[in-house]
């Protein structure tokens, strides 16, 4: 890259390009993108129904009638983000386009899609066996996570991976007889969404409270810091246990609790940055120009102070995933969807140790947390001017 083109890049782009120039961050990013793809397209990747089937010469897509509005939204979001990736648009425009298209997809999905409450997975295999399909295209993993394969007959539970008897299971089956690979794929959604939503909630709260603490300083700052200290003293895991006991094991409650209790770190960082930025000449100039407070805070100060917060956020995503895994491992995770943590729990509960029940979800948790940490490290190094100015020579 020539010097000229580097110079005309905006600050954010420079940070990102230097952060993702190392192999560590690239590996992390690759894993997260793979994970995001798997999470968004999980119904198409692992399901019992055929993607395409021809019944008496009539081609249909049986999978469509089982998609939920949520599935549709995630798929649309992924495709839109992929398309926008290289477009020469402003970040704010991109974010607006992505979120509005996701919202539209959700509303459309709610209006036209009506997936049945109970699904009899066996019917597709029976149909196929009876030869009523001329041909069919099955997903790569032809089992739903809650498909217990009762029609196969015999004891189908706890089969080791890649042992082909009647059915081929890439990662084996669990004690109920459902396919582990399929469960892994569907559980990636919980892991990713917990990470992003919980961190998003704490970041927003942290930025609003920390930003005002830093900007107004003085008494406001003093009171704010005491609130931060109170929140830092809360043991999140025990609070979560208590809430789960009262309000049931919902994934949304877990997200909100992690988010609402975790903002103190972000608030501290933003406060420190804003205290520093407040006296910068360009902020003083903005005040002297009589710009509205909103513009001073969010246009002149936030973009200059956000970098360290993003670093913390990438570690925060990893921490949120771990917290959810811990809860699920303790048997208090969300009931409506399987998660990696609860799969680990099952591995431990069983009387015999089935390695595939522990290795795959454990490995996935490890890789995901590791990836976010790699990206966080790289971002931190890129943001730190002391490290990025490796030459150490100032004339």
Residue numbers of the site for other proteins (CB under 8 A)? 3, 7-8, 10-12, 280-282, 284-293, 295, 299-300, 303-304, 391-393, 395
Specify the residue, 157 or 304, whose C-beta has the smaller distance to other proteins: 304
Q: Which residues are CB-neighbours of 91 under 8 A, at least 6 positions away? A: 12
Find out whether 169 and 354 touch, Cβ atoms under 8 Å.
no
C-alpha to C-alpha distance for 209 and 128, rounded to whole angstroms: 59
Q: Between 59 and 293, whose beta carbon lies closer to other proteins?
A: 293
Q: How far is the CB of 300 from other proteins (least distance, A)?
A: 5
Closest distance between other proteins and the C-beta of residue 26, in Å? Answer: 20
Identity of the residue, 50 or 305, whose beta carbon is nearer to other proteins in the bound complex: 305
Nearest-5° Cα angle at 235, 230 to 237: 145
88/392 with CB nearer other proteins: 392
Rounded to a whole number of angstroms, the minimum distance from the CB of residue 9 to other proteins is 8
- Distance (Å) of CA 88 to CA 51, 219, 383: 35, 44, 23
Please, which residue, 4 or 86, has the CB nearer to other proteins?
4
- Output the smallest distance, CB 16 to other proteins, in A: 14
Least CB distance to other proteins at residue 11 (A):
5
CB 240 within 8 A of CB 270: no
Comparing CB distances to other proteins, the nearer of 256 and 291 is 291
Is beta strand 58-60 parallel, antiparallel or unpaired with respect to 52-55?
antiparallel
Q: Please, are residues 249 and 335 in contact by the beta-carbon 8 Å criterion? A: yes
Reference 18, options 28, 3, 6; nearest CA is 6
Looking at the Cβ atoms of 93 and 123, the one nearer to other proteins is 93
Q: How far apart are CA 325 and CA 346, in angstroms?
A: 12
SS3 133: strand
CB of 205 to other proteins, least distance (A): 23
Nearest distance in Å: CB 250, other proteins? 39
φ, ψ (nearest 5 deg) of residue 141: -115, 105
Least CB distance to other proteins at residue 229 (A): 18
Q: Which is nearer to other proteins, 58 or 395 (CB)?
A: 395
Nearer to other proteins, 12 or 331 (CB): 12
CB 258 within 8 A of CB 320: yes
Dihedral angle at the C-alpha atoms of 316, 321, 322, 328, nearest 10 degrees?
Answer: 150
| Burial grade of 373 (CB within 10 A; 0-12, 13-18, 19 or more) | middle
Class of residue 248 by CB neighbours under 10 A (exposed 0-12, middle 13-18, buried 19+): exposed
Closest contact distance (angstroms) between CB of 18 and other proteins is 12
């Amino acid at each position: 890259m020539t010097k000229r083109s580097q110079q005309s890049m905006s600050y954010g782009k420079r940070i990102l390009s230097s952060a993702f120039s190392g192999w560590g961050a690239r590996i992390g990013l690759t894993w997260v993108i793979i994970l995001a793809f798997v999470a968004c397209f999980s119904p198409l990747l692992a399901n019992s129904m055929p993607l395409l089937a021809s019944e008496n010469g009539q081609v249909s897509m049986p999978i469509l009638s089982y998609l939920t509005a949520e599935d549709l939204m995630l798929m649309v979001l992924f495709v839109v983000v992929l398309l926008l990736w290289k477009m020469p648009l402003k970040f704010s425009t991109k974010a607006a386009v992505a979120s509005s298209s996701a919202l539209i997809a959700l509303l459309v999905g709610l209006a036209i899609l009506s997936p049945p409450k109970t699904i009899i997975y066996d019917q597709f295999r029976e149909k196929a066996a009876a030869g009523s399909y001329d041909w069919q295209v099955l997903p790569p993993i032809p089992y739903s996570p809650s498909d217990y394969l009762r029609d196969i007959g015999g004891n189908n539970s706890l089969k080791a991976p890649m042992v082909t008897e009647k059915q081929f299971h890439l990662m084996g089956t669990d004690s109920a007889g459902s396919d582990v690979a399929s469960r892994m794929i569907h559980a990636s959604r919980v892991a990713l969404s917990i990470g992003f939503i919980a961190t998003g909630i704490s970041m927003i709260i942290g930025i609003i409270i920390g930003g005002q603490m830093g900007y107004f300083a003085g008494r406001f700052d003093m009171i704010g810091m005491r609130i931060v200290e109170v929140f830092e003293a809360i043991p999140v895991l025990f609070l979560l246990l208590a809430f789960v006991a009262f309000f049931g094991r919902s994934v949304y409650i877990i997200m909100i609790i992690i988010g609402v209790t975790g903002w103190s770190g972000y608030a501290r960082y933003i406060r420190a940055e804003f205290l520093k930025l407040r006296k910068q000449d360009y902020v003083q100039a903005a005040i002297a120009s009589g710009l509205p407070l909103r513009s001073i805070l969010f246009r002149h100060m936030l973009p200059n102070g956000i970098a360290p917060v993003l670093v913390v956020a990438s570690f925060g995503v990893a921490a949120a995933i771990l917290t959810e895994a811990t809860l699920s491992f303790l048997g208090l995770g969300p009931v409506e969807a399987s998660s990696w943590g609860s799969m680990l729990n099952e591995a431990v509960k069983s009387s015999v140790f089935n390695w595939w029940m522990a290795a795959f979800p454990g490995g996935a948790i490890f890789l995901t947390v590791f990836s976010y940490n790699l990206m966080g490290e790289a971002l931190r190094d890129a943001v730190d001017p002391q490290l990025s100015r490796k030459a150490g020579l100032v004339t």
